[in-house]
Amino acid sequence: MSNTITVKAFFDANTFTVTYVVFDNESKESAIIDSVLDFDVPSGRTSTHSADQVIEYINQQGLTNRWIMESHAHADHLSAAPYLQKSVGGAIAIGAHITEVQLSFKDIFNMEAAFLPDGSQFDRLLNEGDELPLGHTYLKVLHTPGHTPACLSYHIDDAVFVGDTLFMPDFGSARTDFPGGDAATLFHSIKKILSLPENTRVFTGHDYKAEGRDVFAWESTVSEQNEKNIHVNSNISEAEFVEFRTTRDATLSLPKLILPAVQVNIRAGHMPPAEDNGTAYLKLPIDLL
């Protein structure tokens, strides 16, 4: 356990998503990683219960929030980044390769001409090796594509936040069948993460409570992942991983929130512009995805 940073996890059971607040213990500067905006599909209504828990914690701890980080443009939940920014501040950041994701989905959703696939919706676009100041330490950026081209992991002190790239050892690894995904690329990204010191704590973006496990969990170590990950441990070759991942991904259903989530998340969590009646709409492509 680090004396330099504190990590607080917030688990959203509706989307199986883990939001993190990580802060420097001395300066009390914080970053929020992978926030959730609650969304009810039948009614089309959003709510801020999950985000409000994060805000309450930041205020209780007397933190100054500096960053609102996205590990990638999520397909399984909507980001609460704009709401959080208004409440606690912080620059909204994502991987620079988000432009590739935006370009793919702009065509799929036939988005308005004013939407530019240039990443300008975000405050900061990040690349491999970037270091973001957080009090007296740094968030170090690792580009870990494969699930999507824009996936990042954030390494700070003895912790790494891996988004969807890895799950708990008993659940495995991310799917690679979304636009721009690639199983071989994911294998190398995972190996990059697992080359960190063995005692590095690995914090995942989701947990689905693997068969035989009674509780949700989201923290492991590099050592545990190398020894026990059911998809990509030290005894599994790249060819074996690619064959398994490709075969399995072909059988998976799409996440239930992928259509609304992607439309919002490639806009840095903002809704589409309101139409002439003052209402914003999300599109539902028919027989396309």
- For 185-206, the pLDDT digits (tens) are 999 999 999 999 999 999 999 9
Stretch 98-114: mean pLDDT: 94
pLDDT digits (tens, 9 = 90+) for 241-257: 999 999 999 999 999 99
| Mean pLDDT, all residues of the chain | 95
- Residue 153, pLDDT > 70, answer yes
Model confidence at 22: pLDDT above 70: yes
pTM across the whole model: 0.96
CB count within 10 Å of CB 41 equals 11
Q: What is the structure's pLDDT at 287?
A: 82
pLDDT of residue 2: 75
CA distance 193 to 74: 20
Domains, the chain, ranges and CATH? 5-265 (3.60.15.10)
Question: pLDDT tier at 289 (50, 70, 90 boundaries)?
Answer: low
Q: How confident is the model at residue 281 (pLDDT cuts 50, 70, 90)?
A: very high
